[in-house]
Amino acid sequence: MNIADLKNQFLEYMEIEKNRSQKTIINYDHYISRLITLENLKSLDGLSEEIIRKFRIKLARLTDEKTNQPLKKVTQNYHVIAVRAFLKYLAKRGIRTVPAEKIELGKQEERQILIPEKKELEQLLAAPDINSLKGLRDKAILETLFSTGLRVSELCNLSRDDIDFGKGEFSVMGKGRKIRLVFLSDQAKNTLKNYFSKRSDADLAAFIRIPKDGRFDKYENLRLTPRSIQRIIQKNAVKAGISKTKITPHSLRHLFATDLLRNGADIRSVQSLLGHASVTTTQIYTHVTDERLREVHKKYHSH
């Protein structure tokens, strides 16, 4: 059976039956196509445990085109995850091939998370000049990210009428097209209200480009892109004098999670608020509670 045709059927299944995002479909296509190309597979008959083992060796020796460095372990594992999903799909269809459970993920390096300090957060939130519409927008972006823990793509997709200011909340569609509820702090809510009240455009997007000439009517789509949000945050980080820590939109998501955990939130609740499919992903933040646990131990453990 032609393996390329089976791959395309698998991708259609992932899109239609599993409701995976287009980005996931593109990534899975890339990873499985790399297996087919590197191992010169024409049919499913050529796929074996030994072939997959050789593929993993080649992955470990591949160089990333962008960084000119070897592929990270996590990237290698993304390939393995995609291949396992493909094998599970084939088994579901009753097509005999390598059992997915025989393919194990490689041990990867612990993920290092650089989290800005509380003082740096305060400096960052104070950096935008709220006397201008652009500064007010930047302040609203920063406050919203820290208050909700949104991914940058989720922030970009946010529209003005999505937000329920009465309840201080809104729903967002995250990874896997799953809907979750997020909440605004009073400060974030007030900043957003102020920013929206100063806008004269008709664009539905919550966060927009602000033309230098102020002519909003000249542009059909003003919605900011993830790259634009990234630049806005970096610009304000430089303005705040933060050079030690690299600040990104994801830094504020990290801060949101660690702030909740430090203040006693349970990990399952943090998982739901972040929109993680697995609590294992959320557990990367648990190291931040070590200091609090040390204090608990010191206070309550008998001497």
Q: Is 285 a catalytic residue?
A: yes
How many CB atoms sit inside 10 A of residue 216's CB?
16
Residues 75-119 pLDDT 10s: 899 999 999 999 999 999 999 999 999 988 877 555 556 677 788
Q: Determine which one of 56, 79, 84, 276 is catalytic.
A: 276
Q: Determine which one of 7, 84, 151, 209 is catalytic.
A: 151
Q: Is 250 a catalytic residue?
A: yes
| Domain parsing of the chain, residue ranges | 3-102, 118-295
Q: Determine which one of 175, 193, 223, 262 is catalytic.
A: 175
Q: Determine which one of 180, 223, 239, 250 is catalytic.
A: 250
CATH class label, 118-295 = mainly alpha
CA–CA gap between residue 297 and residue 87 (Å, rounded): 47
Q: Determine which one of 7, 139, 189, 253 is catalytic.
A: 253
The tens place of each residue's pLDDT in the chain, 303 residues long, gives 789 999 999 999 999 988 888 888 999 999 999 999 999 998 898 999 999 999 999 999 988 777 788 888 888 999 999 999 999 999 999 999 999 999 888 775 555 566 777 888 889 999 999 999 999 999 999 999 999 999 999 999 999 999 999 999 999 988 877 889 999 999 999 999 999 999 988 899 999 998 887 777 777 789 999 999 999 999 999 999 987 668 888 888 888 888 888 888 888 888 888 888 778 778 777 766 665 666 666 667 655
Q: Per CATH, which fold does 3-102 belong to?
A: DNA polymerase; domain 1 (1.10.150)
Residues 120-136 pLDDT 10s: 888 999 999 999 999 99
Q: pTM, whole model, 2 decimals?
A: 0.70
Q: Is 276 a catalytic residue?
A: yes
3-state secondary structure the chain: CEHHHHHHHHHHHHHHCCCCCHHHHHHHHHHHHHHHHHCCCCEHHHCCHHHHHHHHHHHHHCECCCCCCECCHHHHHHHHHHHHHHHHHHHHCCCCCCCHHHCCCCCCCCCCCCCCCHHHHHHHHHCCCCCCHHHHHHHHHHHHHHHHCCCHHHHHHCEHHHCECCCCEEEEECHHHCEEEEECCHHHHHHHHHHHHHCCCCCCECCECCCCCCCHHHCCCCECCHHHHHHHHHHHHHHCCCCCCCCCHHHHHHHHHHHHHHCCCCHHHHHHHHCCCCHHHHHHHHHHHHHHHHHHHHHHCCC
